[in-house]
Amino acid sequence: MKVDVQKVAHLKGHDGAVYTINNGKSNNHFLSA
């Protein structure tokens, strides 16, 4: 199997390390902390 990788966005907003990424309340959202 061959896969392609595309970088869609590089998001910044946290002052420290990002330890967790999770689902948000809807399909088009996610949470970070």
Shortest distance, position 31 Cβ to another protein, whole Å: 6
- Residues with Cβ within 8 Å of 29's Cβ and at least 6 positions away in sequence, in order, are none
What residues line the site for another protein (CB under 8 A)?
Answer: 1-25, 27-33
Closest distance of CB 23 from another protein, Å = 6
How far is it, in rounded angstroms, from Cα 5 to Cα 2?
Answer: 10
Nearest approach, Cβ of residue 2 and another protein (Å) = 7
Cβ–Cβ under 8 Å, residues 31 and 21 = yes
